[in-house]
Structure 1
Amino acid sequence: MKQIPLMVTTEWLEKRLNDSDLCVIDATMFMETPESGGPTTICSGKESYQKGHIPGSIYINLLNDLSDPEASLPFTVPPRSYFIREMAKRGIGDGKLTVIYDQGTVLGESIGASYWASRLAWQMKYEGFDNIAILDGGILKWKKENRPLTTIPGVYKPVHYTGQRRTKLLATKEDVKQAIHDDQTILINSLSPEDYKGESDTYARKGHIPTSVNMYFAEHADNQTKEIYVDAILREQFEKTGALNPDKKVITYCGGGIAATWTALMLNKLGQKNVAIYDGSLNEWASDPNCSLIKES
């Protein structure tokens, strides 16, 4: 089967909506902060999906459907058997092309970064799935171009899956501890500059992991067109981090292992294949008093 690119255009997808080997997934989730203040909550995008989605697409809730139900932290990678079962029964598996999209918003602001979609794509690649693409611009661009929508739920016949887990795509807390002292590994914090510097109260403790550099995931797409920037601009953004060196390993992290997957996707697109996601990210690291954090004035 022909390999599809990491990103596909709205035009590319619309032309192939009737292909029998194509599966389309809406992975939308929303981050919301109460007007009265308080912690940010993660909400399902199912209602948005029901109001109108790309024809044929199915909805998957990353938190409820594809996270470890026994884990103490949200969005933790589940056991392989659990993930494979959930995907296969939805028709995602051998012989399929998968395109994933979402709303591309952070706290109600459209940023063009499909980081929920990239999280699902990363989980699939971790478990050995291939032929996965992200819809560039997501459903916001799709709607802006007046492409077809439906309220009829998509459905695919259950399939089998036989791939192998790619363990090198996931980094643990111990891996990160070692990376701090390894000049051959680049640590990238994908959060906002405010989070990186320790100016926010988002996590149990403020700051960033020692030696990590900041590359805010929301800066890789045009807020107007919703499309990611051309490779030349992306390359210029990442060159200062040293992460494009093919001889280096890269570990990306964020708050809960979501935004970090968008950063990893951009690096993959630029040719850096040796990228792992710290799945626990700051939710885990900041909760452990034995793990150092740095704040900047």
Structure 2
Amino acid sequence: MEQIPLIVTTEWLEKRLDDPDLCIIDATIFMELPEKGGPPTIWSGKTSYGEGHIPGAVHMDILKDLSDPQSAQPFTVPPRDYFIRKMTELGIGDDMYTVIYDQGALVGNPIVAAYWASRLAWQMQYEGFENIAILEGGLPKWKKENRPLTAVPGNYSQTNFTGERRTEMLATKEEVKRAMEDDNTILINSLSPEDFRGESDAYARKGHIPSSKNVFFGIHANQQTREIHDEAMLRKQFEKIDALNPNKKVITYCGGGLAATWTALMLNKLGQKNVAVYDGSLNEWVNDPTCPLVTES
């Protein structure tokens, strides 16, 4: 079975469409933000998948099928046995390598980021799945290059999985509270500078977690080509806050644990392995009055 990089190109994937060890997942969800703040509108990408997807791909709805139905917040990690069952039923297990893609971050927003794909990849890695990649540029880039599409649903045989959960990849609210006072932990807010400074109405309380630094998830890719920036440009953003220091731990957060996984992916790509995602992110933090927020940088 081929060992794959964290991020693969459209050319790379097209050459391997007939590989029996390859599993492709369309993780598309659609999210539209209201003009004046408040909760977003979210819906499944299953209908869009049925209209055309990469040959062989199966669709996975990470909101409906891979989030904890008992959680007060959307997009939270479900029970492990539930997640493993969903993945193995889909045909993903010990003998497969997986490429995940989506159709973009936000409806009507030009920001290039595969954070639906990175969220699923992060969840899989957290549960111990390995050999997982994100498709650079996702379906929009694939379509722009006139690569093959199909409306025929993908299908993989049910398989087995023997990996172990990597608990160090998920940060809890209490861990984030401790990190605020820990010089050996870097907290990264992945939201926009406006959200970071508390200038938007996106959340019930404004601002960011004390001591956290802002690295906006939307700056890591070229908005025209949909390609991820070269390593030198990526490094520049993180080196400013010492996030690539191998002796430091990094915790990323955003609004709901989505963009934070995209940031974590970029850090992993640059060699920083000690990265955790605060799964609850601001959706959880702002609803607890004991959790502080600040607006100054």
TM-score (norm. length: structure 1): 0.97
1:51–1:151 contact (8 Å) kept in structure 2: yes
Do structure 1's residue 95 and structure 2's residue 95 form an aligned pair?
A: yes
Separation in 1, partners of 2:34, 2:281: 24
Superposed CA offset, 1:151-198 (max 9, x none): 111111110111000000000000000000000000000000111000
Separation in 2, partners of 1:280, 1:293: 15
Question: Percent of aligned positions with the same letter in both sequences?
Answer: 70
In structure 1, the partner of 2:124 is: 124
Q: For residues 8-87 of structure 1, what are the structure 2 equivalents within 5 Å?
A: 8-34=8-34, 39-87=39-87
Q: Secondary structure at the match of 2:188?
A: strand
Separation in 2, partners of 1:35, 1:221: 24
In structure 2, the partner of 1:105 is: 105
1:221–1:228 contact (8 Å) kept in structure 2: yes
Q: For residues 1-297 of structure 1, what are the structure 2 equivalents within 5 Å?
A: 1-34=1-34, 39-296=39-296
Q: Secondary structure at the match of 1:237?
A: helix
Q: Which runs of 5+ in 2 are unaligned?
A: none
Q: Structure 1 residue 42: deviation in Å? A: 1.5
2:171–2:276 contact (8 Å) kept in structure 1: yes
Q: Secondary structure at the match of 1:188?
A: strand
Q: Secondary structure at the match of 1:110?
A: coil
Q: Secondary structure at the match of 2:64?
A: helix
More off after superposition, 37-46 vs 281-290: 37-46
After superposing on structure 2, the runs of 4+ consecutive aligned residues of structure 1 that deviate more than 4 Å are 34-38
1:111–1:222 contact (8 Å) kept in structure 2: no
Q: Structure 1 residue 34: deviation in Å? A: 4.9
Separation in 2, partners of 1:258, 1:75: 8
Q: Structure 1 residue 259: deviation in Å? A: 0.3
Q: Which amino acid aligns with 2:217?
A: F
Going from structure 1 to structure 2, the CA distance change for 1:207 and 1:34 (only over 3 Å counts) comes to closer
Q: Structure 1 residue 110: deviation in Å? A: 3.0
Number of residues of Structure 1 aligned to a counterpart in Structure 2 = 297
Q: Structure 1 residue 143: deviation in Å? A: 0.4
2:37–2:201 contact (8 Å) kept in structure 1: no
Q: Structure 1 residue 45: deviation in Å? A: 1.1
Superposition RMSD in Å: 1.3
Q: Which runs of 5+ in 1 are unaligned?
A: none
Separation in 2, partners of 1:103, 1:279: 22
2:173–2:280 contact (8 Å) kept in structure 1: yes
Q: Secondary structure at the match of 1:76?
A: coil
Separation in 2, partners of 1:246, 1:238: 12
Q: Which amino acid aligns with 1:44?
A: S
Q: Structure 1 residue 33: deviation in Å? A: 3.3
Q: Secondary structure at the match of 2:86?
A: helix
Going from structure 1 to structure 2, the CA distance change for 1:149 and 1:92 (only over 3 Å counts) comes to same
Separation in 1, partners of 2:287, 2:89: 35
Separation in 2, partners of 1:33, 1:236: 30
Q: Which amino acid aligns with 1:185?
A: T
